[in-house]
Amino acid sequence: MQLFIVAIFSFCIAYASANTPVCVNGFTLVNNKCLKLYTNETTYKLAENSCKTFGATLVTSKSLSDNRAITTFLGSSASLVWMGLYCLDSNPSKCLWDDASGSADSYNSFASGFPLVDIGKCVYYSAQGALAGKWLSGDCEKETRAYVCELPHTYADTCQNNYNGHCYTIHNPMIFVQAQSICEQECGNLVSITSANENRYLQTITNNLVVDRYLIGGMWSSINVFNWVDGSPTNYNNIDRSATYNANCMTVSNSASLSVPPGYWFSTSCNSPLNFICKRSAGVKCSGTPPPVTITPVPSNPSFCNSTLLLAPGVITTPNFPQNYANNLFCSYQLATLGSYNILLHFTSFQTESCCDHVSVYDGDSTSSRVIGTYQGSYSPFSVSSTGNTMFVTFRTDASNVYPGFSARYVSYTPYSLSVGLKSNEIETLFLQDNQAIATIVRSTVSLVWMGRYCLDSDPSKCLWDDASGSAGMYSNFASDR
């Protein structure tokens, strides 16, 4: 009897330990979330990039208890810190959380008169004085603040990659069936990805993986239907809509050299040996047979002509693409991204009437913004980018002659000088694509054009870009003896 009681007591201790929330990477458990304070003051974008190295976001506050906990956590260590909230307009419903969980409309603690995007679109938290616990608007690029990174809590485990209650292990190449068998031996499955945060975390742990893609636990039974082998819900996906569906297994791009951007999913042959990631529960033993799989249709993708605000990532097309568009057509597309990211718009197909049907791209949220370019006729794939977090695109046709039009993918991206985790050859590829895009746009119109670069010395590293993004030391295409 005594041995039985000891056994029960030991089991209860082990169970409680396995279900006790913990934090990793030096984060502190605060109100069931993991927080880490950085007192060095920096811009919003650099703060975000610092958090990304852990797969984290800037701190969020979605309830009164969250808000009070931040004040307690900061104490006297910092008075003002950046938050993971970015406002597209001076209305809390237009202020979006960096973790892609929605807007601040349901709960916010803005000080009176805020948010106010005329001051700045980024948001910071006041921890002291009369405004303690209040949120204020700040200039993302000109103001510097301390910041707090946030991770979800997890459970104690000896695994190296422990995130949000799961352990992740990276393995050498195998085909799908063999990879799943290895994962089952680890009491897990090929990884399922159920949120934007988890997708970002996987990008963090695969940064040093010198492969252009890796296998995950997604299965495509048909072009519009996919499921996870572990039975996880499929309400989140990051499938690249412009990629061609041609196989039944799923892989994630891990290189800027691919046509599919890093972090996006696309189909692959189930018989192709690829690196893969296993996922299991942290702090617990095998759970046994996986739950039954639910097959959920992937939403269809309309053209989004004259739609409301479109948040990256996504794809826009001319109506009826790839069939011909109509005459006397006008479309507008208002693109935006979370946080202080920029927008990269990549045209994968472009064919319009060369004289009269044109696409205009604006660096902002309306036609009053700076014109990035106006395009008509036929182009090879090319990219344009914004300097801020919004981009406006218009498409206008005349009364005669119709063509297939365009398809373009828009994604959030960080300018090269601030990129986190990109390998040097990937950065060079990005610059090379820019260089080729310039040649495509200029075409035969002119032979020589000025560039926004100024050289202080006969050394590419001393040639500085006008947009203050750095030097040409990382990539240049100077002719010899120049």
Structure-token match 């590419």, residue found: 460
| pLDDT tens-digit readout, 62-113 | 999 999 999 999 999 999 999 999 999 999 999 999 988 889 999 999 999 9
Structure-token match 């660096």, residue found: 363
pLDDT value, residue 458: 74
pLDDT value, residue 315: 87
| pLDDT tens-digit readout, 363-419 | 998 999 999 999 999 999 888 989 888 899 999 999 899 999 999 988 887 654 434
Residue 93 three-state SS: helix
Residue 194 CA, chain-centre distance (Å), reads 14
Residue 74 three-state SS: helix
Planar angle of CA 284, 288, 294, nearest 5 degrees? 110
pLDDT value, residue 210: 86
In this prediction, what percent of the chain has a pLDDT beyond 90? 56
| pLDDT tens-digit readout, 409-454 | 888 876 544 343 334 444 444 455 566 666 666 566 677 877 876 6
Q: Tell me the CATH number at 429.
A: 2.60.120.290
| pLDDT tens-digit readout, 248-294 | 899 999 987 788 889 999 999 999 999 999 999 998 776 555 444 44
**DSSP code string of 152-178:** E-EE--S-SEEETTEEEEEEEEE-HHH
Q: Tell me the CATH number at 271.
A: 3.10.100.10
Q: What's the average model confidence in pLDDT over 319-335? A: 91
* SS3 annotation, the chain: CHHHHHHHHHHHHHHHHHCCEECCCCCEEECCEEEEEEEEEECHHHHHHHHHCCCCEECCCCCHHHHHHHHHHHCCCCCEEEEEEEECCCCHHHEEECCCCCECCCCCCECCCCCCCCCCCEEEEECCHHHCCCEEEECCCCCCEEEEEEEECEECCCCCEEECCEEEEEEEEECHHHHHHHHHHCCCEECCCCCHHHHHHHHHHCCCCCCCEEEEEEEEEECCEEEECCCCCCCCCCECCCCCCCCCEEEEECCCCCCCCCCCEEEECCCCCEEEEEEEECCCCCCCCCCCCCCEECCCCCCCCCCCCEECCEEEECCCCCCCCCCCCEEEEEEECCCCCEEEEEEEEEECCCCCCEEEEEECCCCCCEEEEEECCEECCEEEECCCCEEEEEEECCCCCCCCEEEEEEEEECCHHHCCCCCHHHHHHHHHHHHHHHHHHHCCCCCCCCCCEEECCCCHHHEEECCCCCECCCCCCCCCCC
Structure-token match 């042959």, residue found: 269
Domain end: 129, 152, 175, which one? 152
Instruction: Examine residue 305 and state whether it is found in any structural domain, yes or no.
Output: no
Q: Which residue has the higher pLDDT, 285 or 42?
A: 42
In the predicted model, is pLDDT for residue 314 greater than 90?
no
Instruction: Examine residue 117 and state whether it is found in any structural domain, yes or no.
Output: yes
Write down the mean pLDDT value for the chain.
84
Please tell me the total count of domains within the chain: 4
Q: In terms of domains, do 344 and 462 share one?
A: no
pLDDT tier, 245 (very low <50, low <70, confident <90, very high otherwise):
confident
Instruction: Examine residue 377 and state whether it is found in any structural domain, yes or no.
Output: yes
In this prediction, what percent of the chain has a pLDDT beyond 70? 81
Residue 94 three-state SS: helix
Q: In terms of domains, do 230 and 169 share one?
A: yes
Instruction: Examine residue 16 and state whether it is found in any structural domain, yes or no.
Output: no
Q: Residue 170 corresponds to which tokens in the numbers above?
A: 């990276």
Instruction: Examine residue 80 and state whether it is found in any structural domain, yes or no.
Output: yes
User: Which of 176-180, 355-359, 438-442 bottoms out in mean pLDDT, i.e. has the lowest?
Assistant: 438-442
pLDDT value, residue 355: 93
* Domain assignment of residue 428, given as a range: 310-442
Q: In terms of domains, do 260 and 321 share one?
A: no
pLDDT value, residue 461: 58
